[in-house]
Amino acid sequence: MSTNLIILAAGKGTRMKSDMPKVLHAVAGAPLLVHAMKAGMALEPSKMIIVAGHGAEDVAAAAQDYQPAAEIVLQTEQNGTGHAVLCAKDALAQATGDTLVLYGDTPFISAETLENMQAARARYDVVVLGFEAADPARYGRLVMDGPRLQRIVEFKDASDEERTITFCNSGVILCSNKNMFELLSQVTNDNASGEYYLTDIIGLAHSAGLSATAVACAEAETMGVNSRADLAAAEAAFQARARAEALENGVTLTAPETVFFAHDTYIGADTIIEPNVVFGPDVTIENGAHIRAFSHIEGAHVSRGAVVGPYARLRPGAELSENVHVGNFVEIKNATLAEGAKANHLSYIGDATVGPETNIGAGTITCNYDGVFKHHTTIGARAFIGSNTMLVAPVTVGNEAMTATGAVVNKNVPDGAMAIARTPQENKPEVAYRLFDKLRAKKARQQDEGK
Ligand code: UD1
Ligand code: MG
């Protein structure tokens, strides 16, 4: 059966104290909203509707950047979760199958949990995701009768007895698209908050002779973000899980608690990651690579047997082939290093193609930017770039070519040629002795004068 997805993301998130809508704050390099969308993708939704309100344009841009097919509907006034879902009614007027509601500020619902809910739908008309709360606080309470869910009562509206219930509502709910909107059309705002509660559809379903149940998941999955402290806690939870998964997948982490992953980091088995390594989005590290301490890597692909760092920086578009070595204080951006190429010390390689087995000497810079445009540097196979070479792009250095130390290369270097581009050295006999004598005499005079 097809499933439609509605993600509620209209709230302001006042407690974030931010100009940015809450769902755009990032965990592991991706907005909270994208985590929720990713979770929902597990059910291969036929439609994905984002209900946006505060900062709707930015929310739409972030949603469609991740999923261009995502549809945005507006909720201009936040009149409650039920009202928010109703805003998607027109967008889903022709939809068939089921509809699942997720919250944009709840990033960690697992695929397995959503599949469990889907399985429960075979036996119940409405399925709610619940959890045993360590501290039920102000969550909505699930009023059960055996396996059947009778209704959900919001904390504000609950009796003392109902408040003792610890099985709580996560907010995630699944039922047929038809039932969702038929039941919602009957919801009123006659409650302690004066809001239209999505949760009221359970009681209404019960009265209409429909069946409902609650599927339980771990409380950690339902973690929502309301404040910067929650955001930090969500980041910590994500990192703890990512580190455990990396170890489980055969990656060596010398000091796991100091390595930070992005939401989409892929690390192959037998890779070694030393302490204090940070991964930004869009990184793939193939099996058996070695990432040394204090490296920062984003938007990069690192192949088998490559060695990166210590203190290396790989920026978007860095493509390292097998057995490439990138050493300390080397920055690589939008550049391909072919098999066995080495840039071991203090270099900037940007907008460049480097051939196999080529050696880039210490202090080499690709001067890629003229203040307005970026230009490309091409270096062939088995070339040798002397230390402190300035490669003034656009420029090409041929196969097995060399550049002399300190060269400023602004003309192409043919295959096999040696480029020398620096002022020739001149030695002036005895000049250093005379200069030293002069300077020392000056210093002595100054000391006599008591300066
Ligand atoms: C809701 C549930 C409660 C549950 C809790 C779990 C209702 C009535 N209550 O309460 O049972 O235990 O979540 O966290 O559903 N939103 C909109 N538009 C609105 C209102 C909310 O987009 O008009 C979005 C919010 O941005 C948020 C989500 O819906 O992402 C939940 O809203 P929130 O106000 O946090 O609901 P709770 O009161 O926490
Ligand atoms: Mg809430």
Catalytic residue among 83, 325, 345, 375: 345
Bridge partners, residue 307, by sequence: 290, 325
Model confidence at 1, pLDDT cuts 50, 70, 90, reads confident
Taking 90 as the threshold, does the pLDDT of residue 233 lie above it?
yes
Model confidence at 76, pLDDT cuts 50, 70, 90, reads very high
Is 166's C-beta closer than 6 angstroms to any atom of ligand 1? Answer: no
* CA of residue 22 to ligand 2 center, whole Å: 12
Is 16's C-beta closer than 6 angstroms to any atom of ligand 1? Answer: no
For residue 200, give the ligand 1 atom closest to its CA.
8
pLDDT of 235: 98
pLDDT of 267: 98
User: Is residue 345 annotated as a catalytic residue, yes or no?
Assistant: yes
Is 129's C-beta closer than 6 angstroms to any atom of ligand 1? Answer: no
For residue 53, give the ligand 1 atom closest to its CA.
22
Length of the chain: 451
Q: Are 89 and 101 in contact (CB under 8 A)?
A: no
Identify the sign of the CA torsion 95, 97, 103, 104: negative
* CA of residue 225 to ligand 2 center, whole Å: 8
For residue 154, give the ligand 1 atom closest to its CA.
11
Residue identifier of the C-alpha nearest atom 28 of ligand 1: 103
* CA of residue 11 to ligand 2 center, whole Å: 9
For residue 415, the number of C-alpha atoms closer than 13 Å in the C-beta half-sphere is 4
pLDDT of 3: 98
Q: What are the tokens at 93?
A: 């007027």
Question: Residue 429: which H helix or E strand, with range?
Answer: none
Residue identifier of the C-alpha nearest atom 6 of ligand 1: 170
Is 221's C-beta closer than 6 angstroms to any atom of ligand 1? Answer: no
For residue 103, give the ligand 1 atom closest to its CA.
30
pLDDT of 12: 85
* CA of residue 411 to ligand 1 center, whole Å: 64
Each residue of 77-114: pLDDT tens digit? 999 999 999 999 999 999 999 999 999 999 999 999 99
Identify the sign of the CA torsion 177, 183, 185, 190: negative
Is 10's C-beta closer than 6 angstroms to any atom of ligand 1? Answer: yes
Name the more confident of 12 and 152.
152
Section 320-339 average pLDDT: 98
Section 14-35 average pLDDT: 97
Is 67's C-beta closer than 6 angstroms to any atom of ligand 1? Answer: no
Model confidence at 43, pLDDT cuts 50, 70, 90, reads very high
Averaged pLDDT of the chain: 97
Each residue of 128-182: pLDDT tens digit? 999 999 999 999 999 999 999 999 999 999 999 999 999 999 999 999 999 999 9
Q: What is the DSSP string of 246-309?
A: HHHTT-EESSGGG-B--TT-EE-TT-EE-SS-EE-SS-EE-TT-EE-TT-EE-SEEE-TT-EE-
Model confidence at 73, pLDDT cuts 50, 70, 90, reads very high
> What's the one-letter identity of residue 215?
V
Section 203-222 average pLDDT: 97
Residue identifier of the C-alpha nearest atom 26 of ligand 1: 11
pLDDT of 326: 98
* CA of residue 171 to ligand 1 center, whole Å: 7
CA distance 181 to 23: 25
